[in-house]
Amino acid sequence: DPSTFLDTQERSSLPPNTQRSEPKHKVNAVFVMLLREKDLYGAKEAIRQIEDRFNHRYGYPYVFLNEKPFSEMFKDSLRAISKSEMKFGLIPTEHWSYPSWISKERAAEARKSMKKIIYGWSQSYRHMCRYQSGFFFQHELMLPYDYYWRIEPDVRYSCDIDFDPFLFMHENNKTYAFTVSLKEYPLTIPTLWNTTKEFMEKYPQYIAKNNALGFISNDGGESYNYCHFWSNFEIADARWMRSEAYQKYFEHLDQAGGFFYERWGDAPVHSIAAALLLSRDQIHFFREIGYFHNPFHNCPAEPELQAKCHCDPDLNIM
Ligand code: GDP
Ligand code: MN
């Protein structure tokens, strides 16, 4: 009951940072954000909207991850904006560095030759994409949770979310949910599909019967059509990502080296995995969750949904 919650907060004499609300949620779930300290204000903006539009009613906790230790000042600044529990984790070096089988020289050559491609020159972006593809859900702070909702600095949540998406996932047997889908830049993933086809041949037992191959391929799996779910928004079942099927897929990709020798993004990796390893009805589009990540929107146009939003449906990507 939200009114009891307010009473408790007002009566409390604790300083704001230590006034923690009793969680009002039903599902074992968490928000997760990967960020650097320079992202503080973008992170505050995103969390403020998540709280105002949704989480002040539920009190789901947050996990923040970084490959560098967060300062106490940074943690305090974030904790000050929500009563929900916030945990700050350091990424273990082995999850944010070159695996032994990768040639750093070849990786450096690849970055040089990809200067004209978005983030093609960047080493940190590659570590980030590999981390988001294979490791964040294994972080010790993430292990206690079944579901996660990925957020990023600077994103906008433009509609009231007056239901619990985590509970929806749980009750409807959904494993992976998105708000925006689009096409990947082909030059970032020249060999991703061939590597995936090898995986399918080697491990046919992991391919779901009622899969969504039709979403990612227009020719029955011969080629990838570059469609993917935009993974900067994701609500998903972390237990699936920790499963043998997903783990084998990630390991197979990681061995092939494309995170470093090309610039494989976590969005096509998660999307292809979801399309092949899950049954179609485990994937869900949250059309009612108004969302913006530069430069694309998901803004529901239906009048009854618009009434809860501050976004312009004419700016929709589709
Ligand atoms: P884009 O959306 O593809 O343009 O990539 P972003 O710059 O938004 O990065 C995706 C996510 O990874 C965001 O949550 C960033 O805060 C985070 N991120 C990107 N690079 C780094 C990095 O080097 N270190 C950390 N800790 N987070 C990063
Ligand atoms: Mn982003």
- For domain 2-315, give the CATH superfamily: Spore Coat Polysaccharide Biosynthesis Protein SpsA; Chain A (3.90.550.10)
Confidence at 21, pLDDT banded by 50, 70, 90: low
Is the pLDDT score of 9 beyond 80? no
Confidence at 316, pLDDT banded by 50, 70, 90: confident
Q: What is the dihedral of CA 134, 138, 144, 145, to 10 degrees?
A: -10
- The pairing of beta strand 234-237 with beta strand 176-178: antiparallel
Confidence at 4, pLDDT banded by 50, 70, 90: very low
Q: Is 234 a catalytic residue?
A: yes
Express each pLDDT in 241-290 by its tens digit. Answer: 999 999 999 999 999 999 999 999 999 999 999 999 999 999 999 999 99
24 or 139: which carries more pLDDT confidence?
139
For tokens 């907060």, name the residue: 9
- Pair 242, 167: CB distance under 8 Å: no
Q: To the nearest whole percent, how much of the chain has pLDDT over 70?
A: 92
Catalytic residue (choose from 184, 234, 262, 288): 234
Where are the chain's structural domains? 2-315
C-alpha–C-alpha distance, residues 24 and 47, integer Å: 18
pLDDT at 24: 83
C-alpha 122 to ligand 1 mean position (Å): 11
From residue 156, alpha-carbon distances to 62, 94, 151, 152, 174 in Å are 17, 32, 10, 9, 24
* Site residues for ligand 1, CB cut-off 6 Å: 33-36, 39, 66-67, 124-125, 128, 152-153, 232
Mean pLDDT, residues 87-96 taken together = 98
C-alpha 8 to ligand 1 mean position (Å): 37
Strand partners, 157: 291
Confidence at 3, pLDDT banded by 50, 70, 90: very low
